[in-house]
Amino acid sequence: MQSRPARNGQHGPVLLDDSRTRFRLWAPDAQSVSLVLDGSEALPMHEGEDDWYSIEAEAGAGTRYSFLIDNELQVPDPASRAQSGDIHDPSVVVDPDAYQWRNRDWLGRPWHQTVLYELHVGAYGGYAQIEQRLQALAELGVTAIELMPLAEFPGDRNWGYDGVLLYAPEASYGTPEQLKHLIDTAHGLGLMVFIDVVYNHFGPDGNYLHRYAKHFFRHDQQTPWGDAIDFRRREVRDFFIDNALMWLMEYRFDGLRMDAVHAIPDRTFLTELAERVRAEAEPGRHVHLVLENEDNRSSLLTQGFTAQWDDDGHNILHTLLTDESQGYYADYHQDSTNKLVRFLGEGFIYQGHQNRRGESRGEPSGHLSPTSFVLFLQNHDQTGNRAFGDRLIGLTDPDALKAATAVLLLSPMIPLLFMGEEWGAREPFLFFTSHHGELADAVREGRRGEFAEFAEFADETTRERIPDPNAVATFEASKPDFSKFDQPEHAEWLALYRQLLKIRHEVLVPRLDGSRFLGAEALGEAAALARWQLGDGSELRLELNLSSNDIVITPASAEARLLHSSRQSGAEQSPNKLPARTARMCLNDVPDRRTGEMNER
């Protein structure tokens, strides 16, 4: 192994050659820091500039180590690349170049080709089990899998949003090499791989930064998880940006889904992260940065970020499908038809509009491409944040769900499926953790307290029926039962998803790049007509009726061809009538400006 340089300010260990490693720790609140290797005597580390402690020591890949703070507290490396056990145990030196990539020339796929499939690695059984299902996902029409957060968390069951060692993939899922093998295998099948990263907080158990680097946080700004992270500090920014670059460059993930960036108060951190990623990605490589952002800051989507999860789209469709009006659905239940129109015609619903509390949020979005929005009917939050983890298939009329599924898979927005959705899985996806002691009690009671404002959970006895997040049974119940694929009900749903994704890839994807909104209008209660201009100039038309009544409409032009109707019987295909709970998608090809001929690409 050739000696590799260690960048000044870089967090975490750097393997210099086969037998030596440079260790570094930013510890401005420590009086002394020592390195402990495999249980040997502590080696005092040198205190350099800007509160960095460092040492070079005889330690090759596989060496266990930890840091001793002020001769009293032994802690793992906050930038550990792997753990020997759980979050409180020693860290492990990892050779980042040990894995030999088979698909080294993979450059990813253009964003407009993306069909995302979100999954939880633990519920799937680990990296090796996911590999066994990649071929089936690729054949279905999925082009990217999105892994829920992988950062080391306490115990071996967690959604992943309690991660505390952000550089170390969760050991219960497999080794770093097994994760790379999963990504490599996916690339060989033409699948991109995304990772969900959490840069807005650390988990409540195992975070020692408050003891020796309290300047990671700022007390003057709060988030739902406590003190905000202080992105004003160079060391803190580099910690998170280097983490993003590790996943993208070393592990060769194709993109990041950034969790709840509205809880990151310093917007300049986000734009710097995007700039650094764009600057360091290899020429010609497709790297995608996707946001979750309740603030609907559409301006970020012109500053290096590819797209945003469209919670507005999910929330209005869910409200119309279920008639639910509690919690945040109250913001969508009132005036729901006009909100459906705004979503279909402009992407976001809240573009500076006020919510039920009189708070305004959002920025105008109609100028963006429809591919700037990731649309979903279900995801880990929208399913798991329900008291009993109900999936949408058990909450609404099947015909209405089929209509909404057509919107999901045939609109120009980027579709995201949640594991099991494609075959109508009915297993719940519950909120689960593996905390212990007082923290476990607090999480359980906090979870139940979240539903106190809901009428059906008004009394404490009713709330006690909500599954305990820390119970093993809660995690086990959240695993999709893949043995049900061949049952008639599930085969029907799988066939629908396969049919719609086939249309998407054959007809729409070649035309999606450069598409734009053309607006939408109400057709009646819970019904709308939406149009989009695709990149080749053709026009895509959606006729959507989620109400329980048939409506009369002006039909599409004679030149338009029907791509799909969620109602299959011929008697219900009259172009002048849109039956209840129906979606119809039509494409109107236009003369190619260069040839004057009909464009049938």
The residues annotated as belonging to the active site are 259, 292
Closest CA to 310 of 156, 450, 414: 414
Beta strands in 391-441 (DSSP E): 414-418
d(CA 164, CA 87): 8
| CA dihedral (396, 400, 406, 408) positive or negative | negative
Instruction: Quote the tokens at residue 562.
Output: 């029907």
Amino acid, res. 459: D
**Helix 127-140 to helix 176-188 angle, to the nearest 10 degrees?**
10
Residue with tokens 């509160």: 51
Amino acid, res. 386: R
222-251 burial by CB neighbour count: b if 16+ within 10 A, else e? ebebebbbbbebebbbbbbbbbbbbbbbbb
Q: Are strands 255-258 and 192-197 parallel, antiparallel or unpaired?
A: parallel
Instruction: Quote the tokens at residue 66.
Output: 């930890």
Contact status, residue 407 vs residue 370, Cβ threshold 8 Å: no
Contact status, residue 159 vs residue 447, Cβ threshold 8 Å: no
Contact status, residue 456 vs residue 462, Cβ threshold 8 Å: yes
Q: Which helix (H) or strand (E) holds 36?
A: strand 33-37
Helices vs. strands in the chain: H and E counts, helices first:
16, 30
Each as own residue / partner, the long-range contacts of residues 49-55 (CB below 8 Å, 24 or more positions apart, any chain) are 50/9, 50/26, 50/235, 51/26, 51/27, 52/9, 52/24, 52/25, 52/26, 53/24, 53/25, 53/26, 53/27, 54/22, 54/23, 54/24, 54/25, 55/22, 55/23
Instruction: Quote the tokens at residue 518.
Output: 């053309």
Strand, coil or helix: 184: helix
Instruction: Quote the tokens at residue 14.
Output: 């750097």
Instruction: Quote the tokens at residue 192.
Output: 């991109």
Q: Which residues contact 596 (CB under 8 A, 6 or more apart)?
A: none
Would you call 182 exposed, middle or buried from its count of C-beta atoms within 10 A (0-12, 13-18, 19+)? buried
Contact status, residue 309 vs residue 292, Cβ threshold 8 Å: yes
d(CA 151, CA 239): 14
d(CA 284, CA 274): 16
Q: Which letter does DSSP use for residue 385 in this model?
A: T
d(CA 312, CA 45): 51
Residues in the chain: 601
Alpha-carbon Rg for the chain, nearest whole angstrom, is 25
